[in-house]
Amino acid sequence: MAELRKGISEQEACLVLYEEVLPDGDFRDVLKVVHDSKASVPVILFSRLADWDEYLAAVKLGAHDLLRFPFRTGELQSVIDRALASHPLSTS
In a domain, 84, yes or no: no
- pLDDT at residue 7, as a whole number: 79
* Number of domains within the chain: 1
Q: Quick check: 25 and 45 in contact, CB under 8 A? A: no
Read off the pTM. 0.82
Task: Kindly state whether residue 90 falls inside one of the protein's structural domains.
Answer: no
Each residue's pLDDT expressed in tens, for the chain with a length of 92 residues = 788 888 787 777 789 998 876 778 888 899 999 999 888 899 999 888 767 888 888 899 999 999 988 888 899 999 999 999 988 765 44
At 38 the pLDDT is: 85
Q: Cis peptide before 88, with omega less than 30 degrees from 0?
A: no
For residue 80, being part of any structural domain is answered with no
Range of the domain at 62: 2-70
What is the domain-level CATH number for residue 25? 3.40.50.2300
